[in-house]
Copies of this chain bind each other. A is one copy, B any other.
Amino acid sequence: MASLRDVAARANVSFQTVSKVLNGKGAVAPATRQRIIEAAEEIGYVPNALARSLQSRSSLTLGVITVDFSNATPALSLVGVEREARKHGLSVILSSLEPDGSDCVRYLRVLMERRVDGIIMNAPATEEDEEVGRLLRAGPPAVSLHDIAGGGVPTVTPEPAGTAALPIRHLLSLGHRRIAMVTGLQQRHSARQRTAVYREVLAEHGLPYDPLLVEDGAWEVEGGYAATHRLLDRARGITAIYVQNDLMAVGVLNALHERGLSVPDDCSVVGCDDHPVAARTIPPLTTVHMPFSDAGAAAVRLLLERIASTSPADVVLPVSMVYRASTATAPAGA
Contact = CB atoms under 8 A, between A and B. Distances in A.
Interface of A: 1, 44, 46-51, 53-54, 59, 61, 68-70, 72, 75-76, 78-79, 82-83, 86, 91-96, 109-110, 112-115, 138, 250, 276-277, 280-282, 293
20 contacts: A1-B115, A44-B138, A46-B113, A47-B113, A48-B115, A49-B110, A49-B115, A50-B50, A50-B114, A69-B79, A70-B79, A72-B72, A75-B75, A86-B95, A91-B95, A92-B95, A250-B280, A277-B280, A280-B280, A282-B282
A246 to B, nearest CB: 11
A93 B95 contact: no
Nearest to A47: B113
A323 to B, nearest CB: 19
A45 B144 CA distance: 25
B93 A93 contact: yes
B50 A115 contact: yes
Contacts of A50: 50, 53-54, 59, 114-115
A96 B79 contact: yes
A72 B275 CA distance: 12
B44 A48 contact: no
Which of A46, A70, A76, A82 has the most chain B CB atoms closer than 10 A to its own CB? A70
Number of identical monomers bound together in the oligomeric complex: 2
B49 A114 contact: yes
B280 A113 contact: no
Contact of A281 (B46, B76, B92, B280): B280
B76 A70 contact: yes
A46 B109 contact: yes
Contacts of A44: 138
A50 B94 CA distance: 17
Nearest to A44: B138
A22 B287 CA distance: 53
Given A47-B113, A48-B54, A92-B95, 8 more contacts: A1-B115, A44-B138, A49-B113, A50-B115, A91-B110, A250-B280, A276-B277, A280-B282
A115 B48 CA distance: 7
Contacts of A293: 70
A281 B282 CA distance: 8
Nearest to A64: B94
Contacts of A1: 115
Contact of A75 (B70, B95, B114): B70
Contacts of A72: 72, 75, 276
A49 B91 CA distance: 16
Nearest to A140: B1
A70 B75 CA distance: 7
**What are the 8 closest A-B residue pairs judged by CB atoms, nearest first?**
A49-B113, A75-B75, A49-B114, A94-B94, A92-B94, A50-B54, A46-B112, A50-B53
